[in-house]
Chains A and B, each alone.
Chain A
Amino acid sequence: MQQYYLERTLQAVITVVSVMTLAFFLLRLMPGNPADAYRAELIQNNPQLSQADIDHRVEQKLNVLPDAPLHEQYINYVAGLLQGDLGESINEGVPVSEIISEALPWTIFTMSLALLLSFAIGISFGAIMAYKEGSYFDNGLSVLSIFCNSIPNYIVGILSIWFLGYQLELFPTGGRYSTEMEPTVGLLEPIQTLAFLGDALWHASLLILSYTVVAAGGWALRMRGNSIQVLGEEYLRVARLRGLSERRIATRYVGRNAVLPLYTALLIAIGFALGGSVILEQVFTYPGVGYYMIEGLEARDYPLMMGVFLVMTVAVVLGVYIADLTYGLIDPRAQTRGGDHR
């Protein structure tokens, strides 16, 4: 067991370090080498700057010491990352970490809502479909779920924003909240807080909807499959003969045994939700981390792009890592390699 934890931890650390390394080399080998490009730009615009000054500014921007030997640059870069120094955005002129920490809560807000919503809807319908396996209800919803699950969520996004946003003008077409709104979150001002949250939710609703529609289809199909399997198990028949109520069987037997295997998938989905936000936030001009990723990409703002990329990677690794470590606690059936169990 201990060895299992150790292995998983090592695996997570190695993944993160590899991604950091990759980021470093990408940054250096990127077409047109951002460091050189930036340096050339600096020299052109500020001919009076000394070589040392220029080096210093390049380092500040890219978190890379341009003239130091490669290994020194690398150590310096990683040390910076570990302290949260992701460099400075070339276009915005502020530290990347600042942009991310300002944008991240919004992405977490929308994505966690979308995830929870899709999960709740998906498993509820999935279970009902399994109970009614083969009925019109099941067949209809299965087709619908497969359909929803196979269209990319940004297509749903584009359609909904065009129809509900531009045509019917029911929803805002971008932004986090209305311009006239004062961002207030506090216990002392409950009314303003509620109004603000409601407004924020209204702005995020189409984005959340687009993600939910697609993801719920996937959860429903998985839950349906798991539940059908459980419904065919011997222990279910025995439970019925023992006279347990249908309610207890639905929750403690079917529900629990069908949902638990989805736990890992849910945690991994949380990790990937950040990545999933990239295109959706672009479609809805919603300034979360995904939005800034594209922003950085378009403007060749390498530090910004890399910063967001790193945050997303860490989120995925963390999701998988937590799923691995805690699955044994959540599901008693989980057995680790080597055959010993908890």
Chain B
Amino acid sequence: MSRHADAAPTAKTQTRSDAILTCRDLSVEFTMDRGTSTVLNGLDIDIERNEIIGIVGESGSGKSMFASALLDAVVEPGVTTGTITYRPAEGREIDVLDRSDDQLQQLRWEDISMVFQGALSSFNPTLKLRGHFVETLEAHGYDVESGMERTHELLSDLYLDPGRVLGSYPHELSGGMKQRALIALSLVLEPDVLVMDEPTAALDLLMQRSIISLLSALREKYDLTMVFITHDLPLVTKLADRIGVLYAFELAEVSGTEELLRSPRHPYTRALLNSTPDIESPLAEMQPIEGSAPDPVDVPPGCPYHERCPLATADCAAVKPAMEAASETHDVACHYWERVPDEIDLTTEVSR
């Protein structure tokens, strides 16, 4: 966390010194028959160059929307508003949400790439793996020969046998192999940022762990920035430098991983941690948090968590808490964040 130390502290959300992606007031809305559904509500977050940031949320918290929004790939009729600024290592800043189709086609996969939730069905079943790599290189005008050399290296980095994998149809590979091949495919155009939406959801525990360690190695080797989106808080603590907790389409808390585990400031984060009896235990043993997440069509005023929060006051129901800096590397959106550690005990043994 030391490299965050020189970040300039501000009263509100901290602006990181070297953010590769800056999201401001990022929202996604769907207009439906029963009203407008806000599935991402005014997110402000900076993603720093070469960090791995974990975004944690329950299903229906808007985390997949956040992933899609980062590539301006929210499916119709969803509308993405706000700004996302991408700062490549060289060259000018790019406004992701304000690009023509051609420019977007170039940005996606070449600069910001993505591994999807449905990893196991992300390949064309009637096309061998090699075809997927070649067509991606061709579509972006990359040199196929050197691109395939890179593919071989990537696959080896992921402990796959390149010859065998490339000559196979998707169904001939196991889930874990497909998942790793998909990561290789997402990196074939040498992007700066890799967004992963539940990349390990369909895999067994052992495979999850091994992919996590492979991702760390890949980050070092290829200078990647990673956004790892998951519902699995214990898993992401193994990997992420920082963690953002999403609740009801808004960020509740963003903090360095260790600080978040040591002294979470948001009641929801505490509940999330306490629902895990032991940070090492599998997710299946988690205790559910009481109550349910709010409906995106009818988001209550005030703090989105107030209906489930043990500390909620009348104030909470009326006034939405702003993001405040609890420390240089810790932002939290709760009126009573200073009191939280005294009021809600952490029952979970935290370690990394």
Name A residues whose Cβ lies closer than 8 Å to a Cβ of B.
233-235, 237-239, 241-245, 248, 252-253, 256-257, 260, 331-333, 335, 341
Contact = CB atoms under 8 A, between A and B. Distances in A.
A242 B136 contact: yes
B139 A333 contact: no
B121 A244 contact: no
Interface in B22-80: 71, 73, 75
B124 interface: yes
Contact of B136 (A243, A333, A335, A341): A243
A83 to B, nearest CB: 44
B114 interface: yes
Contacts of A341: 171-172
A256 B125 CA distance: 10
B125 A235 contact: yes
A244 B139 CA distance: 5
B135 A241 contact: no
Nearest to A256: B126
Contacts of A242: 108-109, 135-136, 139, 185
B127 A252 contact: yes
Interface of B: 71, 73, 75, 105-106, 108-109, 114, 116, 118, 121-128, 131, 135-136, 139-140, 169, 171-172, 185
Nearest to B141: A243
8 contacts: A234-B118, A235-B121, A235-B124, A237-B116, A241-B114, A243-B106, A244-B135, A252-B127
Contacts of A333: 125-126, 169, 171
A243 B139 contact: yes
Contacts of A253: 124, 127
A333 B169 CA distance: 8
A256, A260, A332, most chain B CB atoms within 10 A: A332
B121 A233 contact: yes
Nearest to A233: B121
Contacts of A335: 171
Contact of A234 (B106, B122, B172): B122
B126 A331 contact: yes
A241 to B, nearest CB: 5
Nearest to B71: A241
Nearest to B182: A238
A234 B105 CA distance: 18
Contacts of B127: 252-253, 256
* Cβ-closest 6 pairs across A and B: A234-B118, A332-B169, A234-B121, A243-B105, A243-B139, A238-B122
Contacts of B124: 235, 239, 252-253, 256-257
Given A242-B136, A243-B140, A234 B116 contact: yes
A242 B73 CA distance: 11
Contact of B108 (A241, A257, A332): A241
Nearest to B123: A235
Contacts of A235: 121-125
A332 B126 contact: yes
Contacts of B75: 237
Contacts of A239: 124
A248 B171 CA distance: 21
B254 to A, nearest CB: 27
A234 B109 CA distance: 16
B43 to A, nearest CB: 21
Contacts of B71: 241
Nearest to A333: B125
A235 B71 CA distance: 17
A252 B124 CA distance: 9
A331 B124 CA distance: 12
Nearest to B127: A252
A234 B182 CA distance: 13
Contacts of B108: 241-243
Contacts of B135: 242, 244, 248, 252
A139 B334 CA distance: 53
Contacts of A238: 116, 122-123
B110 to A, nearest CB: 8
Contacts of B116: 234, 237-238
